[in-house]
């Protein structure tokens, strides 16, 4: 007699049970591990600090050109504010590039520690201008003479100061780049002391 045929329904039910069992097992296994709602399936849950840092990064990243331009303006504004405070306090970290470095700092201190003829140019120029406007020939002649004297004194003082400063820089910084330091100091000497930036950090007569 031929063997009893196996019902087709039994075969399909057996295969369905075999395929469903691993899936049920996987669900039970995965349900025991907490998962971040934003994390993909099959990956470990990130720590709270890592998730917060990631959210802050996403929030701070500009999503369009308008946000990027706004963020650049804010960063530029903050940088200018740091430079302004550094110019007032002498903080080397945030000074502009032209003012940074020990050579430039020494040049500033050397100029600020002495009297410079050039720093009195603006007050003297106002006095001379007033005298030249007055319709008195004698006063106009005096004003013209004062112009010549002031200009000669400024030129002589600047030449002497540049020569002396160059020697001090060569003595103090023999192996460092000193290019432009003398011109930088002479331009600073043209300004009145209270208007100089960065602000003077030494007193007059104090050795830098």
* Total tally of structural domains belonging to the chain: 1
Measured between alpha carbons, how far is residue 195 from residues 112, 116, 125, 189 in Å? Answer: 12, 14, 17, 11
In the DSSP assignment, the letter for residue 175 is T
Query: Across the chain, what does the average pLDDT equal?
Result: 79
- Structural domain contains residue 84: no
91 occurs within a structural domain: no
- Mean pLDDT, residues 178-188 taken together: 95
CA distance 189 to 90: 17
Q: Let me know: does 202 contact 208? Beta carbons within 8 Å.
A: yes
Q: How high is the pLDDT of residue 207?
A: 86
The total number of residues written for the chain in this structure? 208
CA distance linking residue 155 with residue 136, whole number of Å: 29
Q: Give the rounded percent of residues in the chain with a pLDDT score beyond 90.
A: 46
Q: Confirm whether 202 is domain-assigned.
A: no
189 domain residue, yes or no: yes
pLDDT tens digits, residue range 60-104? Answer: 566 778 878 888 888 888 888 887 887 877 778 888 889 999 999
144 lies in a domain? yes
Task: Give pLDDT, residue 43.
Answer: 52
Q: Residue 119: which domain range?
A: 101-195
| 99-132 pLDDT tens trace | 999 999 999 999 999 999 999 999 999 999 998 8
Whether residue 132 lies inside any domain: the answer is yes
Half-sphere exposure of 182 (CA within 13 A, CB side): 14
What per-residue confidence (pLDDT) applies to 12?
Answer: 44
- Res 81: pLDDT: 83
Residue 24 within a domain: no
pLDDT at 136 over 80: yes
């Amino acid at each position: 007699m031929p063997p009893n045929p196996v019902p087709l329904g039994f075969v399909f039910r057996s295969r369905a049970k075999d395929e469903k069992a691993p899936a049920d097992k996987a669900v039970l296994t995965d349900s025991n591990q907490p998962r971040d709602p934003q994390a993909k399936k099959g990956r470990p849950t990130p720590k709270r600090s890592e998730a917060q840092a990631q959210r802050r990064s996403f929030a701070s990243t500009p999503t369009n050109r308008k946000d990027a331009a706004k963020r650049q303006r804010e960063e530029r504004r903050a940088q200018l504010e740091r430079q302004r405070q550094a110019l007032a306090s002498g903080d080397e970290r945030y000074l502009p590039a032209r003012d940074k470095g020990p050579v430039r700092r020494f040049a500033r201190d050397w100029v600020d520690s002495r009297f410079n003829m050039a720093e009195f140019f603006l007050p003297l120029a106002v006095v001379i201008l007033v005298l030249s406007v007055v319709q008195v020939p004698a006063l106009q002649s005096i004003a013209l003479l004062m112009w010549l004297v002031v200009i000669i004194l400024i030129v002589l003082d600047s030449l002497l100061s540049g020569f002396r400063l160059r020697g001090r820089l060569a003595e103090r910084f023999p192996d460092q780049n000193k290019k432009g330091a003398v011109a930088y100091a002479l331009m600073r000497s043209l300004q009145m002391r209270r208007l100089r930036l960065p602000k003077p950090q030494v007193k007059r007569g104090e050795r830098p």
